[in-house]
Amino acid sequence: MQLPTEHIPQRRSSKLRMGEILIEMGLITPEQLSEALEEQRVSHRRMGDIVVAKEWVTPSQLAKARGHQLGVRFVDLQDARLEASAGGLITERDARRYAALPVSFVDDHTILVAMVDPANILAIDDLRILTGYDIEPAIAPEEDIFESIANLSKLEDKVGTSIDGDVPADSRVTPDEIHDILEQVDEAPIVKLVNGVIAQAVEDGASDIHFEPQAKELLIRFRHDGVLHEAMSIPHRMQSGVLSRVKIMADLDIAERRVPQDGRMGLTVGGKPIDMRVASLPTVYGEKIVIRLLDRSNVMLRLEDLGFSEKALARYRKSFTKPYGAILVTGPTGSGKSTTLYATLNILNSPEKNIITVEDPVEYRLNRINQVHVNPRAGLTFAAGLRSILRCDPDIIMIGEIRDRETAQIAVESALTGHLVLSTLHTNDAPGALSRLTEMGIEPFLTASAVDCVLAQRLARRLCDHCKEPYRPTREMLQRSDFPQEAVDGWEEVTLYRAVGCRRCNHTGYRGRLGIYEVMPVSEAIERLTVERKSADEIGRVAVAEGMLGLREDGIDKVLEGLTSVEEIARVIV
């Protein structure tokens, strides 16, 4: 990963004195230097301390000048994302003792270390012995180094007890190899490294962690707000220990590396319980492992917090408060359908209601709700689970996904016999859901009678409130992006916002996500079109005439409100 550094092309120390360097860099004037030299003759303080005390130079600028003098690079720890894999190579005590912090791997044998005094040869030798790596010294302000040490220590302390599994006795490699792996994964640097990666991902609000073996390194990427970002890289020699550590935590067979595996684990990070789904996949360079982070607090979201406009929420609420009927939530994978259904169940969840769900897998545990985990190997499919559910006197049924004709048939029949059925379906828009059920083999008259509302959605990244930048669009741009005619006519008064990037949003310009929705209640006119097997386009035209706001129109409204950007709406809505 690239760190913000001030690189010195010629790694040779400068013969200039500090005062001369500060003048050369344009940080002080000759008159100020003369004044500082006069004070230095009296107080015998260092030139750097004097100019900082007089506030002519910041500690960061002084460190940059000192780096120029010593011929080492300057590391800006305020903007850099520290690699937990490097920072975990030494203890907090040693980091404070040497006023030094490993920040990244340069190659398989060298680490970059930010130091207050890169000229301290004894400290560099000790760090080489402690880490087992060659040291490339860099310079950073003392305050920044100690603040970063404290932050890394907090991250490590946040990870609580994991649900570890035993190593299976039935191995695919030799017992000696397993013994070596177990010794490696129990080493403090490996444990700290994995804990640090997980804690950093939770701290950053990531939804997934990708461990991706490459030819010469183990690449780690986080998925933030639906987009993957490179977080750090780990030397190839540590790959086996890191991946085995994750597999042991998830109760996977560390000796089996030829077939995909799935597992779960639970951690507490900062006192917050986090469920994790772990999947491994053999690749040409080793096993790729993906950890899905499931924050249990997410399911306590209210529908108002997800991004619903007032009108769309009123239309949706009118449907899910009815005692029976089917509500379908559509959209591609990762568009937030499950979150919407969980938020809906939170509203419907009450002691007098019997709510049963059938999911694959059960991502979040909800109080007072009976959740069934699909297990096709044991014969428990969506259809089999639904048949059993109907014998358990449910009031509300949630189906994780309608995938086949049998599941669709049972869901429709359940809605017709007095149950409220919530489910997801993979279609691009709301009108397409009715046509999809017909294509699955459901009679159109049954679909028309059973389905009460279809909700289509996407997830767009929300602009960071701390760094978003206002700008005035042109009339042509508003027309090209399908803005409402009133916005086009009054384009001189329209203010939009664009992404910039800062520390709070990891320099992406976005922080968090919001939903883009189209809500289509099934009216009598839409029922007739469904029975007549009309196309999704025809159904959509009638729905718009009846007041439905399409996905693009809802997205444009959120752009005008300053919540997201034109570029983001173009990315998520084709």
What DSSP letter does each residue of 204-239 carry, written as one string?
Answer: TT-SEEEEEE-SSEEEEEEEETTEEEEEEEEEGGGH
Q: At residue 213, what is the residue type? A: P
Are 346 and 299 in contact by the 8 Å Cβ rule? The answer is yes
Averages of pLDDT over runs of 10 residues in the chain (574 residues) are 44 68 85 85 82 84 86 81 74 88 84 90 91 90 85 59 36 40 54 82 87 90 88 83 90 89 82 84 94 71 86 94 95 89 92 91 81 84 88 93 92 94 94 94 95 96 93 92 89 92 83 93 96 94 94 94 94 86
Q: How wide is the angle at C-alpha 543 spanned by C-alphas 539 and 544, nearest 5°?
A: 120
Q: At residue 519, what is the residue type? A: V
Q: How wide is the angle at C-alpha 49 spanned by C-alphas 45 and 52, nearest 5°?
A: 145
Can you tell me the distance from the alpha carbon of 247 to that of 508, in angstroms, rounded to the nearest whole number? 31
Partners of residue 513 on adjacent β-strands: 461
Strand, helix or coil for residue 324: coil
Are 410 and 390 in contact by the 8 Å Cβ rule? The answer is yes
Are 112 and 136 in contact by the 8 Å Cβ rule? The answer is yes
What is the separation, in whole angstroms, between the first and last Cα of the chain? 32
Strand, helix or coil for residue 145: helix
Strand, helix or coil for residue 428: coil
> Which residue in 380, 378, 362, 379 sits closest to 370, CA to CA?
362
Are 398 and 309 in contact by the 8 Å Cβ rule? The answer is no
For the record, the structure tokens of 154 come out as 């907090």
- DSSP-assigned states of every residue in 338-369: HHHHHHHHHHH--TT--EEEEESS--S--TT-
Are 278 and 298 in contact by the 8 Å Cβ rule? The answer is no
> Which residue in 59, 67, 58 sits closest to 8, CA to CA?
67
Can you tell me the distance from the alpha carbon of 253 to that of 247, in angstroms, rounded to the nearest whole number? 7
Give, in order, the Cα–Cα distances in Å from 434 to each of 336, 411, 426, 450: 20, 14, 11, 11
Tokens 């950007």 map to which residue?
A: 565
pLDDT of residue 135: 92
For the record, the structure tokens of 428 come out as 């691009």
Can you tell me the distance from the alpha carbon of 482 to that of 573, in angstroms, rounded to the nearest whole number? 12
pLDDT of residue 256: 87
Can you tell me the distance from the alpha carbon of 59 to that of 49, in angstroms, rounded to the nearest whole number? 9
Its pTM surpasses 0.95? no
pLDDT of residue 170: 34
Are 328 and 424 in contact by the 8 Å Cβ rule? The answer is yes
- For the chain, give the longest Cα–Cα distance: 97
For the record, the structure tokens of 58 come out as 């910041």
Tokens 């993957």 map to which residue?
A: 228
Q: H helices within 29-75, ranges in order?
A: 30-43, 47-53, 59-70
pLDDT of residue 520: 97
